[in-house]
Structure 1
Amino acid sequence: MDWSDVTGFVLVAALVVLLIYGITLYNQLVNLKHGVSRAWANIDVLLRQRHEELPKLVEACRQYMQYEQATLERVISARNAVGQARDRSDLKQLGQAETALRSGLGQLFALAENYPQLQANSSFQHLQQRISGLESGIADRRELYNAAVNINNVRIEQFPDVLVARLFSFRPAELLQFSEAEKADVNLRQLFS
């Protein structure tokens, strides 16, 4: 065997190893990208469920809260803004709309204290518990989503992953961020004590 054969073999072996490494990196980046999508889909499911429950809550309140129409309309308006931002996958607008919605819900539940018959209504109690559970689920899923986004964004910026990411146009994902008031957990049950 002469040196040209050994050099050729080493070069081919190095290219094969490099190709396998590149394919592995690519597959890992694809997995991370789909992890971000899956995390968003989990949030979207909860947002849709809450979106469907809010009109029922507003209707239950409307029967008792005749003088609180502005608050009820604010909740519905914020609900619609969340739905529109969610449909467009506009995370910045979604964060702002979520802040408005949670603020409106907080006001709605605070005002409900003035209506004992409403608080005694089983439909209202069920909806309040359901929405409270959905709020907790959204907060949990938001944390998982942001963790997936962070892992994705770090990987596509690290060397040598950045080479594969640029070659195949992997883009950073956007964190789901809320205002400072939104970051604080809202305990809806506490509003009724």
Structure 2
Amino acid sequence: DLVPNLVETVKGYASHERKTFEEVTRWRSAAMAAGTPEARAQAENQLTQALRNLFAVAEAYPELKASQNFQRLQADLGQIEEAVQSARRYYNAVVRDLNTAIESFPSNFVATTFQFKKRPFFELDRPEERQVPRVSFGT
């Protein structure tokens, strides 16, 4: 799993940054255990912030920035973030279609009969969370 590998790589260089590592681990676990889309969105928002803090810690360690393992993990994390955003867009499109069908004739009769309820969108709370984290490990 990418996040634990990233944490372990940074830990090797910055062992005194314990609080940051614990936050990343805690929010990752919360995101994986979340039972509702709202809870998952909240946990993923917190995980994104914790990962930003982790990358900020990495900025202070030039030898870490030069590590091929860290660079590969960083690139992988960027690809995963793109995939997560794509999944969020897909989920929201499906929720939009479902909510529209629940309110539209004649499908609203089926929705009422089977007690289908409108579902919430998977939304990020703050505008800065909607952006892919920008991390620069340049010289």
Alpha-carbon distance in 2 for matches of 1:108, 1:136: 19
Structure 2 equivalent of residue 107 of structure 1 = 53
Alignment length (residue pairs) = 138
Classify the secondary structure of the residue corresponding to 2:136.
Answer: helix
Write the letter of the residue equivalent to 2:10. Answer: C
- Structure of higher CA gyration radius: 1
Classify the secondary structure of the residue corresponding to 1:191.
Answer: coil
Relative contact order, CA 8 A, sep 6+: which one is greater? 1
Cα deviations by residue, 1:100-145 (Å, 9 ceiling, x for unpaired): 1000111111121110111111111111110111011111210111
Are 2:84 and 1:135 aligned?
no
Structure 1 equivalent of residue 4 of structure 2 = 55
Cα deviations by residue, 1:153-178 (Å, 9 ceiling, x for unpaired): 11111122111221233332332122
Structure 2 equivalent of residue 65 of structure 1 = 14
Residues 101, 108 of structure 2: 8 Å contact kept: yes
Classify the secondary structure of the residue corresponding to 1:96.
Answer: helix
Quick check: 174-183 or 123-132, which moved more? 174-183
> Normalising by structure 2, what TM-score?
0.91
Identity of aligned residues (%): 35
Cα deviations by residue, 1:14-37 (Å, 9 ceiling, x for unpaired): xxxxxxxxxxxxxxxxxxxxxxxx
Shift of 1:182: 5.3
Residues 52, 133 of structure 2: 8 Å contact kept: no
Alpha-carbon distance in 2 for matches of 1:111, 1:186: 18
Which runs of no fewer than 5 residues in structure 1 stay unpaired? 1-51
Residues 91, 177 of structure 1: 8 Å contact kept: no
Are 2:124 and 1:178 aligned?
yes
Shift of 1:152: 0.9
Which runs of no fewer than 5 residues in structure 2 stay unpaired? none
